[in-house]
Amino acid sequence: MRITCAVLLAVCGLVPLASRPAHAGPPPGPQTMELEIVNRPTRGAPDTLQVTITLGERGCSSIETQRDPVRHKVIVCREGGDAVASVLSFNVERHDSSREASSHKKLHSTARMAAGQRLVVGRVAHADGANLQVTATLR
């Protein structure tokens, strides 16, 4: 009984130490986020919007564009992280009010990204083959 208790106490004492990440230093300063939003309709050519946005140490940055009949809204927030990688949340909306293809798509995602990393933040695909894909690169 004493051996079992000693082993359990030793294991319990080591688990928190092993599960803690190494301290990587303070969060990075301002960084640039490049987003590529590609809408591929069932018919016709893909529509691509490229956005570059500066992120502060904390908080959100946003861009809204409208080029009739399409409107985009992009919000990127730095939620935390360290010197190795940032925890970012993405809110992307695309609204197309054209007569033949009216649609509204929203995407919300959170990811941990290191500088230089390229990541597909999200993808919306329809049964007819139409899709929207958002790709991000942190600089």
What is the model's pTM? 0.76
Each residue of 44-102: pLDDT tens digit?
A: 899 999 999 999 888 999 999 999 899 999 999 999 988 899 999 999 999 999 877 78
Chain-wide mean pLDDT for the chain? 83
Residue 7 and residue 32: Cα distance in Å, rounded? 49
Residue scoring higher pLDDT (17 or 123) = 123
Tell me: pLDDT of 5 over 80. Answer: no
Angle at 126 between CA 101 and CA 108, to 5 degrees: 95
Average pLDDT over residues 27-52: 90
